[in-house]
Amino acid sequence: MESTLKVALAQIAPIWLNREKTLNKIIEWTNNAAKQKAKLIVFGEALLPGYPFWLDRLNGSEFNSPLHKEIHAHYLDQAVCIEEDHLKSLCEAARTNKIAIYLGIMERPLDRGGHSLYCSMVYINEGGDVKSVHRKLMPTYEERLSWSPGDGNGLVTHKLPPFTVGGLNCWENWMPLARAAMYAQGEDLHVSIWPGNKRNTEMLLPVIAQEARSYVLGVSGIFRPEDIPSDFPFADKMKEATTNTLANGGSCIASPDGSWLVEPVVNEEKLIIADLDHKKVREERQNFDPSGHYSRPDVLSLNVNKERQSVLHDSKS
Protein backbone atom coordinates (compact mmCIF):
# COMPACT_ATOMS: atom_id res chain seq x y z
CA MET A 1 0.00 0.00 0.00
CA GLU A 2 1.17 3.51 -0.77
CA SER A 3 2.52 5.18 2.35
CA THR A 4 2.17 8.79 1.19
CA LEU A 5 -0.61 11.17 0.23
CA LYS A 6 -0.09 14.40 -1.69
CA VAL A 7 -2.34 17.17 -0.37
CA ALA A 8 -3.09 20.72 -1.48
CA LEU A 9 -4.06 23.63 0.76
CA ALA A 10 -5.82 26.38 -1.20
CA GLN A 11 -5.43 29.69 0.62
CA ILE A 12 -7.59 31.99 -1.48
CA ALA A 13 -9.99 34.91 -1.29
CA PRO A 14 -13.58 34.44 -2.44
CA ILE A 15 -15.25 36.52 -5.11
CA TRP A 16 -17.11 37.77 -2.09
CA LEU A 17 -20.79 36.81 -1.90
CA ASN A 18 -20.89 35.68 -5.51
CA ARG A 19 -21.54 31.95 -5.44
CA GLU A 20 -21.06 31.28 -9.14
CA LYS A 21 -17.81 33.23 -9.56
CA THR A 22 -16.33 31.88 -6.33
CA LEU A 23 -17.23 28.33 -7.34
CA ASN A 24 -15.49 28.84 -10.68
CA LYS A 25 -12.38 30.01 -8.83
CA ILE A 26 -12.52 26.97 -6.52
CA ILE A 27 -12.76 24.66 -9.55
CA GLU A 28 -9.80 26.43 -11.18
CA TRP A 29 -7.65 25.86 -8.08
CA THR A 30 -8.87 22.26 -7.86
CA ASN A 31 -7.78 21.63 -11.44
CA ASN A 32 -4.40 23.18 -10.69
CA ALA A 33 -3.92 20.96 -7.63
CA ALA A 34 -4.82 17.87 -9.65
CA LYS A 35 -2.21 18.79 -12.27
CA GLN A 36 0.33 18.68 -9.44
CA LYS A 37 -0.85 15.15 -8.54
CA ALA A 38 -2.64 16.11 -5.30
CA LYS A 39 -5.25 13.61 -4.11
CA LEU A 40 -6.89 15.97 -1.60
CA ILE A 41 -7.50 19.70 -1.76
CA VAL A 42 -8.84 21.76 1.16
CA PHE A 43 -10.42 25.23 1.13
CA GLY A 44 -11.19 27.56 4.05
CA GLU A 45 -14.27 28.02 6.23
CA ALA A 46 -17.33 29.69 4.66
CA LEU A 47 -15.33 30.34 1.49
CA LEU A 48 -18.36 29.71 -0.70
CA PRO A 49 -19.65 32.39 -0.98
CA GLY A 50 -17.77 34.17 1.85
CA TYR A 51 -17.50 34.98 5.54
CA PRO A 52 -19.88 37.61 7.10
CA PHE A 53 -17.26 40.21 7.94
CA TRP A 54 -19.96 42.93 8.03
CA LEU A 55 -21.20 41.68 11.40
CA ASP A 56 -18.11 43.05 13.09
CA ARG A 57 -17.75 46.14 10.93
CA LEU A 58 -21.35 47.36 10.66
CA ASN A 59 -22.82 46.80 14.14
CA GLY A 60 -24.39 43.44 13.36
CA SER A 61 -26.10 43.25 16.76
CA GLU A 62 -28.50 46.10 15.96
CA PHE A 63 -31.93 44.48 16.22
CA ASN A 64 -34.38 44.68 13.32
CA SER A 65 -31.96 46.78 11.29
CA PRO A 66 -33.07 47.37 7.67
CA LEU A 67 -29.40 47.40 6.67
CA HIS A 68 -28.72 43.97 8.14
CA LYS A 69 -31.98 42.54 6.84
CA GLU A 70 -31.00 43.51 3.31
CA ILE A 71 -27.47 42.13 3.68
CA HIS A 72 -28.79 38.88 5.15
CA ALA A 73 -31.25 38.46 2.28
CA HIS A 74 -28.35 38.89 -0.15
CA TYR A 75 -26.29 36.35 1.81
CA LEU A 76 -29.11 33.81 1.64
CA ASP A 77 -29.48 34.36 -2.08
CA GLN A 78 -25.80 33.56 -2.67
CA ALA A 79 -25.61 30.65 -0.20
CA VAL A 80 -25.27 26.99 -1.22
CA CYS A 81 -28.26 24.67 -1.46
CA ILE A 82 -26.83 21.21 -2.03
CA GLU A 83 -30.28 19.80 -2.83
CA GLU A 84 -30.52 22.24 -5.73
CA ASP A 85 -27.21 20.97 -7.19
CA HIS A 86 -25.22 24.12 -6.48
CA LEU A 87 -22.12 21.91 -6.04
CA LYS A 88 -22.70 19.84 -9.18
CA SER A 89 -19.87 21.42 -11.19
CA LEU A 90 -17.43 20.98 -8.32
CA CYS A 91 -18.42 17.34 -7.93
CA GLU A 92 -17.77 16.88 -11.64
CA ALA A 93 -14.32 18.46 -11.22
CA ALA A 94 -13.56 16.07 -8.35
CA ARG A 95 -14.63 13.08 -10.43
CA THR A 96 -12.75 14.19 -13.55
CA ASN A 97 -9.55 14.88 -11.62
CA LYS A 98 -9.93 11.95 -9.19
CA ILE A 99 -9.31 14.31 -6.27
CA ALA A 100 -11.10 14.56 -2.92
CA ILE A 101 -12.21 17.96 -1.63
CA TYR A 102 -12.96 19.57 1.74
CA LEU A 103 -14.75 22.90 1.32
CA GLY A 104 -16.31 25.39 3.71
CA ILE A 105 -19.72 26.59 2.53
CA MET A 106 -22.61 28.67 3.78
CA GLU A 107 -25.33 26.06 3.49
CA ARG A 108 -29.02 26.86 2.99
CA PRO A 109 -30.49 23.39 3.59
CA LEU A 110 -34.02 22.48 2.59
CA ASP A 111 -34.30 20.06 5.51
CA ARG A 112 -34.34 23.12 7.80
CA GLY A 113 -36.78 25.11 5.68
CA GLY A 114 -34.30 26.69 3.27
CA HIS A 115 -34.11 30.14 4.88
CA SER A 116 -31.45 29.73 7.59
CA LEU A 117 -27.70 29.48 7.16
CA TYR A 118 -25.33 26.82 8.45
CA CYS A 119 -21.56 26.98 8.39
CA SER A 120 -20.92 23.61 6.79
CA MET A 121 -17.85 21.59 5.89
CA VAL A 122 -18.46 19.43 2.83
CA TYR A 123 -16.43 16.37 1.89
CA ILE A 124 -16.54 15.32 -1.76
CA ASN A 125 -14.72 12.10 -2.55
CA GLU A 126 -12.55 11.36 -5.58
CA GLY A 127 -15.58 9.88 -7.32
CA GLY A 128 -17.40 13.21 -7.14
CA ASP A 129 -19.91 12.20 -4.47
CA VAL A 130 -20.84 14.39 -1.49
CA LYS A 131 -20.08 11.98 1.35
CA SER A 132 -20.66 14.22 4.37
CA VAL A 133 -21.89 17.68 5.29
CA HIS A 134 -20.83 18.77 8.76
CA ARG A 135 -22.79 21.74 10.11
CA LYS A 136 -20.74 23.70 12.63
CA LEU A 137 -21.84 22.76 16.14
CA MET A 138 -21.61 26.25 17.59
CA PRO A 139 -21.08 29.47 15.63
CA THR A 140 -18.48 31.66 17.33
CA TYR A 141 -19.41 34.98 18.95
CA GLU A 142 -20.90 37.39 16.37
CA GLU A 143 -21.32 34.53 13.86
CA ARG A 144 -24.44 33.61 15.85
CA LEU A 145 -26.09 36.74 14.47
CA SER A 146 -26.04 35.12 11.03
CA TRP A 147 -25.46 31.37 11.38
CA SER A 148 -27.51 28.62 13.00
CA PRO A 149 -26.15 25.90 15.35
CA GLY A 150 -25.48 22.61 13.60
CA ASP A 151 -25.61 18.98 14.70
CA GLY A 152 -23.49 15.84 14.95
CA ASN A 153 -24.58 14.22 11.70
CA GLY A 154 -21.37 15.21 9.91
CA LEU A 155 -18.96 14.10 12.65
CA VAL A 156 -17.63 11.29 10.48
CA THR A 157 -14.36 10.18 8.94
CA HIS A 158 -13.53 8.96 5.45
CA LYS A 159 -11.00 6.53 4.05
CA LEU A 160 -8.50 8.28 1.81
CA PRO A 161 -5.67 5.75 1.58
CA PRO A 162 -3.36 5.49 3.34
CA PHE A 163 -5.15 7.85 5.76
CA THR A 164 -8.48 8.16 7.52
CA VAL A 165 -9.47 11.80 7.19
CA GLY A 166 -11.90 13.94 9.19
CA GLY A 167 -12.37 17.59 9.96
CA LEU A 168 -13.86 20.42 11.98
CA ASN A 169 -14.77 24.04 11.40
CA CYS A 170 -12.73 26.84 12.98
CA TRP A 171 -13.20 27.08 16.77
CA GLU A 172 -14.78 23.61 16.89
CA ASN A 173 -11.15 22.54 16.83
CA TRP A 174 -10.91 23.89 20.41
CA MET A 175 -13.68 21.52 21.55
CA PRO A 176 -12.02 18.50 23.23
CA LEU A 177 -15.02 16.21 22.82
CA ALA A 178 -15.49 17.09 19.14
CA ARG A 179 -11.86 16.20 18.53
CA ALA A 180 -12.24 12.99 20.56
CA ALA A 181 -15.21 11.99 18.41
CA MET A 182 -13.00 12.17 15.32
CA TYR A 183 -10.06 10.33 16.91
CA ALA A 184 -12.36 7.49 17.98
CA GLN A 185 -13.32 6.90 14.34
CA GLY A 186 -9.73 6.22 13.35
CA GLU A 187 -8.84 9.72 12.16
CA ASP A 188 -5.13 10.13 11.48
CA LEU A 189 -5.35 13.13 9.14
CA HIS A 190 -7.23 16.00 10.75
CA VAL A 191 -8.49 18.90 8.62
CA SER A 192 -9.25 22.24 10.26
CA ILE A 193 -10.69 25.07 8.19
CA TRP A 194 -10.75 28.75 9.14
CA PRO A 195 -11.95 32.07 7.69
CA GLY A 196 -8.39 33.35 8.08
CA ASN A 197 -5.68 34.73 10.37
CA LYS A 198 -2.46 33.17 11.57
CA ARG A 199 -3.43 33.70 15.22
CA ASN A 200 -6.01 30.91 14.87
CA THR A 201 -3.64 28.25 13.60
CA GLU A 202 -0.11 28.88 14.87
CA MET A 203 -0.69 27.86 18.50
CA LEU A 204 -3.49 25.29 18.26
CA LEU A 205 -2.50 23.04 15.38
CA PRO A 206 0.75 21.67 16.87
CA VAL A 207 -1.17 20.88 20.07
CA ILE A 208 -3.85 18.94 18.16
CA ALA A 209 -1.14 17.11 16.22
CA GLN A 210 0.59 15.99 19.42
CA GLU A 211 -2.71 15.09 21.09
CA ALA A 212 -3.93 13.07 18.12
CA ARG A 213 -0.54 11.87 16.90
CA SER A 214 -1.87 12.80 13.46
CA TYR A 215 -1.13 15.20 10.66
CA VAL A 216 -3.18 18.38 11.02
CA LEU A 217 -3.99 20.64 8.08
CA GLY A 218 -5.02 24.22 8.76
CA VAL A 219 -6.56 25.98 5.77
CA SER A 220 -7.55 29.63 5.96
CA GLY A 221 -8.94 32.26 3.65
CA ILE A 222 -7.76 35.70 2.60
CA PHE A 223 -9.87 38.84 2.76
CA ARG A 224 -8.63 42.37 2.06
CA PRO A 225 -10.41 45.72 1.63
CA GLU A 226 -10.11 45.35 -2.14
CA ASP A 227 -12.10 42.10 -1.94
CA ILE A 228 -15.28 44.04 -1.10
CA PRO A 229 -17.30 44.15 -4.34
CA SER A 230 -19.21 47.24 -5.44
CA ASP A 231 -22.45 45.25 -5.76
CA PHE A 232 -22.43 44.29 -2.06
CA PRO A 233 -25.39 45.97 -0.30
CA PHE A 234 -24.09 49.09 1.45
CA ALA A 235 -20.63 48.53 -0.07
CA ASP A 236 -19.70 52.14 0.62
CA LYS A 237 -20.30 51.70 4.35
CA MET A 238 -18.36 48.42 4.41
CA LYS A 239 -15.41 49.91 2.55
CA GLU A 240 -15.36 52.93 4.86
CA ALA A 241 -15.26 50.63 7.89
CA THR A 242 -12.58 48.34 6.45
CA THR A 243 -9.12 49.85 6.22
CA ASN A 244 -7.10 46.74 7.08
CA THR A 245 -6.83 43.09 6.06
CA LEU A 246 -9.54 41.09 7.83
CA ALA A 247 -8.17 37.62 7.02
CA ASN A 248 -4.44 37.20 6.43
CA GLY A 249 -4.36 33.42 5.93
CA GLY A 250 -2.17 31.32 8.20
CA SER A 251 -2.57 28.01 6.35
CA CYS A 252 -0.12 25.39 7.58
CA ILE A 253 0.56 21.71 8.27
CA ALA A 254 1.60 20.20 11.61
CA SER A 255 3.27 16.77 11.70
CA PRO A 256 2.24 13.97 14.12
CA ASP A 257 5.03 14.95 16.53
CA GLY A 258 3.81 18.56 16.66
CA SER A 259 6.56 19.99 14.48
CA TRP A 260 5.83 22.13 11.44
CA LEU A 261 5.81 20.43 8.07
CA VAL A 262 4.64 23.74 6.59
CA GLU A 263 4.76 26.86 8.75
CA PRO A 264 1.83 29.32 8.56
CA VAL A 265 1.70 31.21 5.26
CA VAL A 266 0.31 34.75 5.45
CA ASN A 267 -0.76 37.66 3.26
CA GLU A 268 -0.87 35.83 -0.05
CA GLU A 269 -3.07 33.58 -2.09
CA LYS A 270 -1.16 30.35 -2.46
CA LEU A 271 -1.59 26.68 -3.32
CA ILE A 272 0.47 24.76 -0.78
CA ILE A 273 1.46 21.25 -1.89
CA ALA A 274 2.89 18.67 0.51
CA ASP A 275 3.47 14.93 0.79
CA LEU A 276 2.25 13.28 4.00
CA ASP A 277 3.89 10.02 5.05
CA HIS A 278 1.63 7.69 7.02
CA LYS A 279 4.71 6.05 8.54
CA LYS A 280 5.10 9.17 10.72
CA VAL A 281 1.66 8.52 12.23
CA ARG A 282 2.53 4.93 13.02
CA GLU A 283 5.80 5.98 14.61
CA GLU A 284 4.15 8.51 16.92
CA ARG A 285 1.36 6.08 17.89
CA GLN A 286 4.04 3.82 19.37
CA ASN A 287 3.98 5.67 22.69
CA PHE A 288 0.56 7.34 22.57
CA ASP A 289 -2.68 6.46 20.79
CA PRO A 290 -5.65 8.49 22.10
CA SER A 291 -8.30 5.95 21.09
CA GLY A 292 -6.14 2.83 21.18
CA HIS A 293 -3.65 1.52 23.71
CA TYR A 294 -3.58 4.75 25.75
CA SER A 295 -7.35 5.01 26.11
CA ARG A 296 -9.40 3.67 29.01
CA PRO A 297 -12.92 3.09 27.64
CA ASP A 298 -13.82 1.27 30.85
CA VAL A 299 -13.33 4.60 32.66
CA LEU A 300 -13.87 7.27 30.00
CA SER A 301 -16.22 7.14 27.03
CA LEU A 302 -18.08 9.56 24.75
CA ASN A 303 -21.66 9.60 23.45
CA VAL A 304 -22.23 11.28 20.08
CA ASN A 305 -25.69 12.06 18.69
CA LYS A 306 -25.36 11.85 14.90
CA GLU A 307 -29.02 12.42 14.14
CA ARG A 308 -29.64 15.18 11.59
CA GLN A 309 -31.72 17.80 13.38
CA SER A 310 -35.15 18.56 11.97
CA VAL A 311 -38.38 20.12 13.21
CA LEU A 312 -40.37 17.51 11.33
CA HIS A 313 -40.44 13.82 12.11
CA ASP A 314 -42.91 11.86 10.00
CA SER A 315 -44.66 9.00 11.76
CA LYS A 316 -46.17 6.21 9.71
CA SER A 317 -49.06 4.20 11.10
Q: Exactly one of 91, 119, 170, 252 is catalytic; which is it?
A: 170
CB 7 within 8 A of CB 273: yes
CA distance 228 to 248: 15
The dihedral formed by the CA atoms of 256, 11, 160 and 188, expressed in degrees to the nearest 10: 20
Is 170 a catalytic site residue?
yes
Q: Exactly one of 136, 143, 172, 280 is catalytic; which is it?
A: 136
Query: How many residues make up the chain in this entry?
Result: 317
Is 252 a catalytic site residue?
no
CA distance 151 to 135: 6
Residues labelled as active-site residues = 45, 136, 170
